[in-house]
Structure 1
Amino acid sequence: MDGLGTMTDTHDVAGWSWWPAPAKLNLFLHITGRRADGYHLLQTVFRLLDWGDRIGLRLRDDGQILRVGESVAGVAPEQDLAVRAARALQQASGSRLGADIRVDKQVPAGGGFGGGSSDAATVLVVLNRLWGAGLDEDALASLALGLGADVPVFVRGRNAWAEGVGEQLTPIALAPAWYLVVEPGVHVPTAALFQSAQLTRDTPMAIIGNFASGALTGNAFEPVLRALEPAVEAVFQQLTQVGTPRLTGSGSGCFVEFATRDAAQQALRDLPRTLQARVVAGVDRSPLLDALDAMDV
């Protein structure tokens, strides 16, 4: 399945509305230092994709926030980012309404594609509208940061140059591109990666112009993951047959960028079918924003 397709504004007879939660790629990721509170500073470019999860929402008038089904195996409702997002919005807005939440999970957990963060952002943005809470984009982004450093970019819904812990966002124009993405099926906790002696934590600060010129590449977590996980190294070796592989985020997900869909599809055909691989397109604007615009028509 390549893209969100018709998942942008589907309503069903059971009272559910369905909303896209697009995945992302980090086109590069450098760690430039550490704050006094221990959080690492980074620079990266977030690229939104036409592939992701779907979030089902059904309003409740009793104020309860309930998860229906299981979005990620082993994650309790209290720790589920989508549930936490709804409760954070409820508290911030004072809304007396509630919601049932379902997550149609397409983005693998631990891959660095931002699935959980995007799920949370979609819940924040859509419930803000459905509840009539009235929070503006900046207020929602502030709530989002309390849930995770990757959540604000999904709230704002635009490709971005990011700094700080990932919350300082500058919109950036990116050329059309298609991506062959592969999930090796392994997960190393981010905390373990940050503790690695192989992790480069002092890359010099760059500017957006460095990225535009092609001077910024690589991901600080790549050498760490390739050394720790043979499955990631094996995927990198296979992807070198079709292009230049890169890692996204602090997960195990790998990707190769192509200028055309045909080139990406050919590369997919050239790889072993045993790989968990797909072709997805980069987008300029989140499908979630398109779905909200359609709701107002």
Structure 2
Amino acid sequence: MPRPAADGAWLAPAKLNLMLRILGRRDDGYHRLQTVFQFIDRVDRLYLEPRADGRIVRVAGPPGVPPEQDLVVRAADALRRATGCDAGVEIRMQKVLPMGGGLGGGSSDAATTLHALNRLWGLGLDVDTLAHIGLSLGADVPVFIRGQACWAEGVGEDITPVSLQEPWYLVLRPPVEVSTAAVFNDPELTRDSVAITMRDFVAGDHRNDCLAVVYRRYPNVAACFDWLDSIGGAPRLTGTGACVFGTFGSEPAARQAAARLPAGCTGFVARGCNRSPLFG
């Protein structure tokens, strides 16, 4: 069961897409995908306090995001509408995960909010119900609800838990936000990849079909990708970016690479996690 950390914070971890293939486009405009999600131990922290007046109040959140557009507020509201609950909550977030980086921060924040309020409001909903509510907020919210590294298909909602190696990653954040909509609408995006199996992925098929478009449209992302490649980091793009990451065999190796980051790029070292840090 998910639970708060020792300081009362509910953790909302980042994810990495270890592979991303686009198999086609549905009539509703959504793309059919294959991807592998793994969590990392880099987290936003949410502090939630029940309110007796029935209001949902965000006192601290992502810079520049109005409360009505914030996924944590929308998640709280969706949970109330789905259950008929009239309880209130005050939400304070310590935002660490970058927006527009492909790390799933907003979806993770929403999933953690659903889990936390399910407990704080005494609703007693099971994981399947929370995942159904979360899907209305974003295709990858159910991944964070279930809290297990997974193979995902469909638009990302058809999930199969997997057990992966848990290496150390160096995640680079170029100084740019990538528009997911722009990438998926790019006429040069590959949309007809052949489906692969988990065995293919384990054997080394880690392709991200978005990389060519992002590489062309965002030179800052391309520069970080090339730098990781030059130091043997086996670079990959997570989601549509902007973040790229390299895999290392040990924490010291990842930190040595982090100490040599190219100018204009920030980054951090994180451990891969098959179980979401929200679940302890």
Scaled by the length of structure 1, what TM-score is found?
Answer: 0.90
Structure 1 residue aligned with 2:139: 149
Structure 1 residue aligned with 2:46: 55
The question of 1:232 aligning with 2:228 is answered no
The question of 1:43 aligning with 2:52 is answered no
Deviations 1:51-79 (A, max 9, x none): 1100110111221111112x223221111
Deviations 1:72-110 (A, max 9, x none): 232211111000000111111222211011111000000
| Kept after mapping to 2: 8 A contact 1:177/1:259 | yes
Structure 2 residue aligned with 1:14: none
Question: Kindly, what percent of the aligned residue pairs are identical?
Answer: 52
2:106 aligns with one of 116, 120, 124: 116
The question of 1:9 aligning with 2:5 is answered yes
- Letter of the structure 2 residue corresponding to residue 143 of structure 1: I
- Letter of the structure 2 residue corresponding to residue 58 of structure 1: E
Structure 2 residue aligned with 1:288: 278
Equivalents in 2 of 1:183, 1:271: separation in Å?
10
How do 1:211-290 residues align onto structure 2 when only pairs under 5 Å count? 211-214=201-204, 216-242=205-231, 243-272=233-262, 274-290=264-280
Structure 2 residue aligned with 1:176: 166
- Letter of the structure 1 residue corresponding to residue 50 of structure 2: L
The structural deviation recorded for 1:276 is: 0.6
Q: Give the number of equivalent residue pairs.
A: 277
Query: Structure 2: which 5+ residue stretches go unaligned?
Result: none
Residues 189-198 or 199-208, more deviating: 189-198
Equivalents in 1 of 2:148, 2:18: separation in Å?
14
2:265 is paired with a residue whose SS is coil
| Kept after mapping to 1: 8 A contact 2:216/2:222 | yes
How do 1:182-197 residues align onto structure 2 when only pairs under 5 Å count? 182-197=172-187
| Kept after mapping to 2: 8 A contact 1:181/1:280 | yes
| Kept after mapping to 1: 8 A contact 2:111/2:144 | yes
| Kept after mapping to 2: 8 A contact 1:137/1:155 | yes
| Kept after mapping to 2: 8 A contact 1:44/1:162 | yes
1:55 is paired with a residue whose SS is strand
Query: Structure 1: which 5+ residue stretches go unaligned?
Result: 1-6, 12-16, 291-297
Equivalents in 2 of 1:273, 1:158: separation in Å?
35
Residues 109-118 or 88-97, more deviating: 88-97
Structure 2 residue aligned with 1:33: 24
- Letter of the structure 1 residue corresponding to residue 182 of structure 2: A
